[in-house]
Amino acid sequence: MLTGVLLTLIAAFSFLLVLSFLVFFHELGHYSVARFFGIAVDRFSVGFGKPIWRRTSKAGVEWVISRIPLGGYVKFSGDAGAASNPDVEKLAEIRAAYEADPTGPNIDDVFHFRPVWQRALVVLAGPVANFILAIILFAGIGMSVGVEFSTPQVVTVQPNTAAAEAGFLDGDNIVELDGKRMRGVGQVSQYIRLRSGTKIEALVQRGSEEILLTVTPKRTEIRDEIGGLSKVGLAGFTLTKGKANVESIQGPIGALEYGVSQTGEILSSTGTYLGRIFTRKEDGKQLGSVVKIATVTGKVAIDTATADAPLSDRIRAWALRMTFLAASISIALGVANLMPLPVLDGGHLVYYGYEAVVGRPLSQEKQEFGFKIGFAVLLTLFVVLTINDFGYVMSMRS
């Protein structure tokens, strides 16, 4: 039997492995495009705080692993810090040194002196890398375990539920929801959960005929797969894999298509949920930050480690589940970094968009003010999400 200390170590290792890997890949996106354009990079850091390991490459880049493994950054020459806001004094020194000796420092190597389209591509490369990584990871899952799709079939319709009111019957095959073809039980469940109180047009196949039903999921508190409480939309039926329209992944191309499809589904679901928050149809309690990521990752790792199965099977299950979590979190990381806050990639893109339209960058004073506001908003958001996280963790014990 595994001890509590060992289980804690497994949970911590799983969390740090997943988060560090995702951060590394995100920053690698920035770094790779920057180096493609020949932009000088001072430091590539995984984590923040005092370095515990460092190495300087032949290109002059300092590669660092720092003590606090909850993030990371690429620091370009002329940056004031990890947020890549320009250091005015440093940039002035670089320009002055170049003007004094044009054969010395190469001003064209400095990120902040590059054309706006190059800077925008470097910044955009981080979130895009997260989406690409998710596609690769999902494709890997598809190749390793295989995935089969089929039209979901209703097994049981509970009485006095939205599904019963809508006229669903046992044995109905759910072909489409709001005109979108359904290819699996999970897809139907996720679609319905995100639409409590919203009418859904369901096309079902009943025997040889197709019938259009309208169902409005009811907001219900449930325990998710991890054991935490959350409020979602439920129709009131149970589903199983049907025997109609069966498809399976075929080869690397099919796996890649699956990766793209899964990533697109999660992006669409994320957009739907965020949209419902802004229209006050959701309270945002399902949004979380580092604490929730650590909780979910750790819980999945512990459940896998304590499963009643041979060690080899548990290791394989752990690898698959961590891969799935990493892909899902990678998408969330990419979306979060595209928020239009100046300290994030999305904020930099807003600044560059202004520069591209107006023909000149925003004044340094306004940029610095924007960074301060962005940092304050980000800090407030972090506090709110952390409160959500602890509420979720406490619900697991209730």
pLDDT block averages, 10 residues each, the chain of length 398: 78 90 92 92 87 88 86 79 66 72 70 89 96 96 83 93 95 94 91 95 93 96 88 93 73 90 94 92 89 91 89 92 95 94 90 90 85 91 92 86
Is 352 contained in some domain? yes
Compute the distance between CA of residue 156 and CA of residue 98 in angstroms, rounded to an integer: 75
Q: Domain boundary residue among 282, 315, 348?
A: 282
Amino acid occupying residue 395: S
Q: Domain boundary residue among 226, 257, 282?
A: 282
Is 65 contained in some domain? yes
Q: Which two tokens stand for residue 148?
A: 């089969």
Compute the distance between CA of residue 51 and CA of residue 65 in angstroms, rounded to an integer: 6
Is 98 contained in some domain? yes
**Residues near 318 by Cβ (< 8 Å), separated by ≥ 6?**
14, 301, 304, 305
Is 32 contained in some domain? no
20/101 same-domain check: no
133/1 same-domain check: yes
The reported pLDDT for the residue numbered 290 is 87
168/239 same-domain check: yes
The reported pLDDT for the residue numbered 198 is 95
Compute the distance between CA of residue 116 and CA of residue 361 in angstroms, rounded to an integer: 9
The reported pLDDT for the residue numbered 57 is 87
Q: Are 157 and 170 in contact (CB under 8 A)?
A: yes
247/331 same-domain check: no
Is 242 contained in some domain? yes
The reported pLDDT for the residue numbered 49 is 84
The reported pLDDT for the residue numbered 318 is 93
Is 371 contained in some domain? yes
105/4 same-domain check: no
Q: Which two tokens stand for residue 132?
A: 């690409």
45/72 same-domain check: yes
Q: Which two tokens stand for residue 113?
A: 């002196």
215/320 same-domain check: no
Task: State which residues form the domain around 290.
Answer: 1-26+115-137+283-398
**Residues near 162 by Cβ (< 8 Å), separated by ≥ 6?**
215, 216, 217, 218, 234, 235, 236
Q: Which two tokens stand for residue 1?
A: 């039997």
Compute the distance between CA of residue 308 and CA of residue 82 in angstroms, rounded to an integer: 45
Compute the distance between CA of residue 121 and CA of residue 97 in angstroms, rounded to an integer: 27
Q: What values do phi and psi take at 207, rounded to 5? A: 70, -125
260/287 same-domain check: no
The reported pLDDT for the residue numbered 46 is 85
The 8-class DSSP code of residue 244 comes to S
Is 10 contained in some domain? yes
Count of helix runs (H) and strand runs (E) in the chain: 10, 12
309/350 same-domain check: yes
The reported pLDDT for the residue numbered 7 is 85
The 8-class DSSP code of residue 85 comes to -
Is 205 contained in some domain? yes
> CA 227, 229, 235, 239: dihedral to nearest 10 degrees?
-10
Q: Domain boundary residue among 282, 313, 340?
A: 282
User: How many domains are there within the chain?
Assistant: 3
Task: Count the residues in the chain.
Answer: 398
74/128 same-domain check: no
Q: Are 41 and 63 in contact (CB under 8 A)?
A: no
The reported pLDDT for the residue numbered 256 is 92
Please classify residue 171 by burial: count the beta carbons closer than 10 Å to its beta carbon, then call 0-12 exposed, 13-18 middle and 19+ buried: middle
Compute the distance between CA of residue 324 and CA of residue 322 in angstroms, rounded to an integer: 5
Q: Determine the Cα angle at 38 with ends 36 and 39, to 5°.
A: 110
The reported pLDDT for the residue numbered 152 is 92
The reported pLDDT for the residue numbered 2 is 62
Q: Which two tokens stand for residue 211?
A: 């019938």
273/163 same-domain check: yes
Max CA distance (Å), the chain:
84
**Residues near 255 by Cβ (< 8 Å), separated by ≥ 6?**
139, 140, 142, 143, 249
363/271 same-domain check: no
Query: Which residues are the active-site residues?
Result: 27
Q: What values do phi and psi take at 257, rounded to 5? A: -60, -40
Q: Where are the beta strands (DSSP E) in the chain?
A: 41-56, 62-76, 148-149, 152-157, 173-177, 180-181, 200-206, 209-215, 218-223, 229-234, 237-241, 247-248
